[in-house]
Structures are given as structure tokens and as C-alpha cells.
Amino acid sequence: MTTQYETLRHEDTYREAFGVEPPAALGERLLWPRKPGCFIVHQAVATALLSPEAAAPLAADDTAAPPPADRTRVLVPAQWGLVPHWVKSASDAKLRAPKLVTAKSDLASTGTAFREAWLQGQRCIVPMQSFYADDYRSGKAVPTRIARVDGKPMGVAGLWARWRGADGEVIISYALLTVNANNHALLNRYQQPGSEKSMPAILNEGAYDAWLTARQEKAKEFLRQYAPQYLTANPVENKADKVPKKDWLG
């Protein structure tokens, strides 16, 4: 299950890699479940999401792509750990969110927690510099940082949700989408022995807008393994970076 990833540390990286303005404050370097993070969507979706009057979020239209003017990308502050609309209270949301930080791509359209977000086209891009996985080959868990070989950030496919409580409290949240990595030349080495291997669905840079606007029946075509030769894995040396729980890819 996902428990940690590394956020972007330079404002210019948001502009250069994703074409969005950076957050007002960069926040924590290592992100954990239920902590404030961010995701990227098009302007029209963000406007509805952040509107206090909105009774429900604006989902992507699966029947037609939005006009070019609506394809401006923006960064939306949100909690990592999806809160489905049917959650009854904020306290219940706090309990569920850490368990809903990832969604398996093959189950996203059928799982209770993620089904509506998938069917409504509530897709987003999660910017990150790296993610973490445990290496058990030595017989014990060794936290390992997985990043791109070229040092550039990753845009991971995600789903977002907007929850509104009876008292008007709003929680905007998101989850990362993962793909099976049992046959991945790099990621199949990590996570607990005997478990299904998985990895974040890293998008190609040229596919960002297409992922956000694709028709529903085409969306899963974007969810595939990222080529192993473009990734590098390094054991974590700094104790402050180590993951205290089980490896996090779910």
C-alpha cells in the first residue's frame, strides 16, 4: 500500500514540467497519507472543484473533448487519500483516507471506493519527484527511492473526489492509480515476497492533456508500465527518509 512519495522542491519545476503555477508554499518534501498534497486538472474542472457553491464537482465530459481554451492546466491543493462522496462524516473520512491512497487500474471502474470517480471521468495528474518501495532481497525491508534516470519529475495518473459534509465542510482528495508490475524488469524486485507487484501509472509527458480529456473507454489505454530503463532505484541512506511501515505500492 502506498505510504510515501517525494514532492517537487523547486517552483520552476512545476512550470517547466507541467505548465502550471507552483503552490503558494512547497510544503513537506516527503508526503504521507492524509497530508496536504496537490494534483493537476484543467481550469474548468478546478473552478468547479474550488467553488464553495458547488453541490457536486464538474466531471470530465466523456462524450466530447473540451474546447482548447479550457485546457489550461492548474494545480489544485488536496488531501492525499481519496474520500468517496458517500462517506458520512469527517471522522469516517479520516479513517478511510489512508487506505485509499492508491487504486489498482484494473479495479478502478468496479471498486466501491473508486468506481464513481472513474466513471465520472474525475482524472488528474499527480506531480512527484520519486516514490518509495521496500527491497526484501536481503531478507529485511530496505527502503528504496525510485526516480527517473534523467532526474525529471513524474506525472502519475490519479483520480480525484470532492466530499461535502452536512455542515458544509469540503474535502478535496485524490488517489494514485497503479498498474501490475509482476513482469517489470525493475519493480518486480520490490515489495513483499509473494505479493502482487505494482507501480504507479507514470504518464508520458506528451499524454498529459489526452489523459485528462480522453473518453472513458480510452482512458485505461494510458495506464501502463513505465519502461524500466528510464527508472533508477537507490537504497535510502538518510534515516529521516526511511519508510517505517510496509512497502507502499498497492
What is the model's pLDDT at position 241? 58
Per-residue b or e along 67-98, where b marks 16 or more CB atoms closer than 10 Å to that residue's CB: eeeebebbbbebbbbbbbeebeeeeebeebbe
226 within a domain of the structure (yes/no): yes
Distance CA 208, CA 214 (A): 10
Residue bearing the bigger pLDDT, 206 or 247: 206
Half-sphere exposure of 35 (CA within 13 A, CB side): 15
126 within a domain of the structure (yes/no): yes
Confidence category of residue 164, pLDDT binned at 50, 70, 90: very high
CATH code: domain of residue 27: 3.90.1680.10
- With H, G, I as helix, E, B as strand and everything else as coil, classify residue 71: helix
Query: In degrees to the nearest 10, what's the CA dihedral of 186, 188, 189, 194?
Result: 180
Question: Of 8, 32, 1, which is closest to residue 155 (Cα–Cα)?
Answer: 8
What is the model's pLDDT at position 3? 72
183 within a domain of the structure (yes/no): yes
List CB contacts of 78: < 8 A, sequence separation 6 or more: 36, 37, 38, 39, 160, 172, 173, 174
What is the model's pLDDT at position 240? 53
248 within a domain of the structure (yes/no): no
250 within a domain of the structure (yes/no): no
Residue bearing the bigger pLDDT, 27 or 125: 125
Distance CA 248, CA 246 (A): 6
- With H, G, I as helix, E, B as strand and everything else as coil, classify residue 125: strand
pLDDT of 243 > 70? The answer is: no
pLDDT of 214 > 90? The answer is: yes
Q: What is the mean pLDDT of the chain?
A: 88
pLDDT of 61 > 50? The answer is: no
249 within a domain of the structure (yes/no): no
Dig out the grid coordinates for 42 from the structure: 484543467
201 within a domain of the structure (yes/no): yes
What is the model's pLDDT at position 48? 86
247 within a domain of the structure (yes/no): no
Confidence category of residue 238, pLDDT binned at 50, 70, 90: low
Distance CA 15, CA 140 (A): 40
Structural domain tally of the chain?
Answer: 1
Domain with 146, as residue range(s), is 5-241
76-80, 95-99, 157-161: which has the minimum mean pLDDT?
Answer: 95-99
